[in-house]
A and B are shown apart, each in its own frame.
Chain A
Amino acid sequence: MAGGQERVLRRRIKSVLSTRKITKAMELIAAAQIPRSLARIAANRPYRLGMQRLVLEAALGDPAGAAKLLAMPEHVDTALVLFLTGDRGLSGPYNNSSLRAGERLVAKLKGEGTKARLFCVGKKAAAYFRYRGLSVEEHFVGFVDRPTFANAQAIASRLVGPYLEGEAQQVLLVSARYLSAGSQVVQVQQLLPLVVPELPVDDGPKVLKGYTEFEPEVKKLLYFLAPHALESEIFSALLEGAASFHTSQQRAMAAATDNADELSQTLTRVMNRARQDSITTEIMEIVGGAEALRLGK
């Protein structure tokens, strides 16, 4: 029956429209989160730059000690790799591009004879590695949408221990960096040994010239500074990750909403044609029937 087809189409349109309602709502929520997460990145920036400047100062103040603490060992037996993903999906390529980059990194490390110990932030990374049978040392979940500094400290404290005790020689971070609204790029960043930052000259206060006084002496300071610099870097990565997640989700959900619009439009056209067809058929049947009656008289 032609009327049956119409009913099926009507049901499909309804389901497409209700999905559209959900994607539209998610788009709006993500869009509302973006400015807030960007404001947090901006608020964190002076602290982060200050921390980097401090590391640079300390490194200039004690080149010998810094060389020992900051230099890459000749061979890395074990590396700690921290993955940053979201707790939720439906966010376009955000989670998967980080995970793919991470898997490539692990494979590369293996090729160099380095054992990777995995640490994951976000449910998605945990699920991904569990499915692939890779053991993950620790998961951190439940805060990636709105990370706090205490979260960063908790993560850093788990990484610093093995590093200072010599169990691992390198700490790497795989995360999406927020470059602009249009571009978020997955980067692999070395957290430890500390990377001495190269600050642009015109960015913030001037860098000192290496004749600075230190309190306490620079060796001690550098040793205590490393965990704090790590916390700072992890926190800013968490903030940028959150911003990237919201941006990516907003874009993905906007595309899904557009698709739903297009689909419901196409389905409505098909449905209208089907209805018209069934009406035409009915008229033909009535006319045909009436004609037959007339001829039969």
Chain B
Amino acid sequence: MATLTVEILSPEAALWRGTASALVARSSEGDFTILPQHTETVGDLVSSIVRVDTDEGAVAFAVHTGYFQVGPGDGEGVTLATVLAGVAERTTEIDVARAQVAKDAAEVQLAAASKGDQSDQTAQFTALAALERAELRLRAAAK
């Protein structure tokens, strides 16, 4: 029987590994689903929620940009989907209070950076990125 093995890897730790029925994520080209026996694919991931459907229900991760690779796994008929993310966390482990604080702080920073004639572009980007991360965490935790 064809099966799908999913790995969620971050530089600090391997977050999750197991057998799944589907991997749902979003690349720069749009949403996609990986099923067993998916063709060999390499792609990027935008900041989004990655969902892994397993027999025991769905496991979700907040992924702040990354890459994925689909290829043959160990054994006959096994497809391996690897998600590589610089920063990723399981939605159940997100600290909502902290994310809310971070979101407020990022909004203040963004406002400060955009004010006046000499708007600081680097600061704007940094604040925007922080805001995006915090919002994704809040969205992921609310699911």
A→B interface (CB under 8 Å) = 40, 43-44, 46-48, 50-51, 53-54, 57-58, 61, 148-149, 152-153, 205-206, 208, 211-216, 218, 221, 224-225, 228, 231-232, 235
Shortest B83–chain A CB gap in Å is: 9
CB-based contact B42/A57 at 8 Å: yes
For the complex, is B100 an interface residue (Cβ under 8 Å from A)? no
Q: List 26 A-B contacts (CB under 8 A).
A: A43-B13, A46-B9, A47-B9, A50-B84, A51-B67, A51-B84, A54-B69, A54-B84, A61-B42, A148-B12, A149-B11, A153-B86, A205-B72, A206-B71, A212-B40, A213-B40, A213-B41, A214-B41, A214-B42, A214-B43, A215-B27, A216-B43, A221-B42, A221-B43, A228-B67, A232-B11
Interface size class of B (residues with CB under 8 A): 20 to 34
For the complex, is B59 an interface residue (Cβ under 8 Å from A)? no
Q: Which of B42, B72, B86 contacts A54 (CB 8 A)?
A: B42
- Whether A205 contacts B80 in the complex (CB less than 8 A), given A153-B86, A215-B27, comes out as yes
A221 to B67, CA, bound (A): 9
Contact residues in B for A61 (Cβ distance below 8 Å): 42
CB-based contact A47/B41 at 8 Å: no
- Whether A50 contacts B69 in the complex (CB less than 8 A), given A216-B27, A216-B29, A228-B86, comes out as yes
Contact residues in A for B28 (Cβ distance below 8 Å): 215-216
Contact residues in B for A148 (Cβ distance below 8 Å): 12
Contact residues in A for B21 (Cβ distance below 8 Å): none
Question: Which of the listed residues A61, A208, A218, A224 has the most CB atoms from chain B within 10 Å of its own CB?
Answer: A208
Shortest A210–chain B CB gap in Å is: 9
Closest B residue to A153 using CB positions: B86
For the complex, is B73 an interface residue (Cβ under 8 Å from A)? yes
Q: Which of B14, B39, B74 contacts A205 (CB 8 A)?
A: B74
Shortest A234–chain B CB gap in Å is: 10
A9 to B13, CA, bound (A): 54
Contact residues in B for A205 (Cβ distance below 8 Å): 71-74, 80, 82
B:27-63 near A, CB below 8 Å: 27-29, 32, 39-44
A2 to B40, CA, bound (A): 86
For the complex, is B87 an interface residue (Cβ under 8 Å from A)? yes
Shortest A194–chain B CB gap in Å is: 14
For the complex, is B7 an interface residue (Cβ under 8 Å from A)? yes
A225 to B12, CA, bound (A): 19
For the complex, is B124 an interface residue (Cβ under 8 Å from A)? no
Contact residues in B for A47 (Cβ distance below 8 Å): 9-11, 14, 84
CB-based contact A216/B44 at 8 Å: yes
One digit per residue, 1 when the CB lies within 8 angstroms of any chain A CB and 0 when it does not, for chain B 5-21 equals: 00101111110000000
Q: Which of A46, A53, A149, A231 contacts B69 (CB 8 A)?
A: A53
Shortest A222–chain B CB gap in Å is: 10
Contact residues in B for A221 (Cβ distance below 8 Å): 42-44
Shortest B67–chain A CB gap in Å is: 6
Shortest A291–chain B CB gap in Å is: 84
Closest A residue to B80 using CB positions: A205
Closest A residue to B17 using CB positions: A46
Closest A residue to B28 using CB positions: A216
- Whether A212 contacts B84 in the complex (CB less than 8 A), given A50-B9, A205-B72, A206-B72, comes out as no
Contact residues in A for B69 (Cβ distance below 8 Å): 50, 53-54, 57
Closest A residue to B72 using CB positions: A206
Contact residues in B for A216 (Cβ distance below 8 Å): 27-29, 43-44
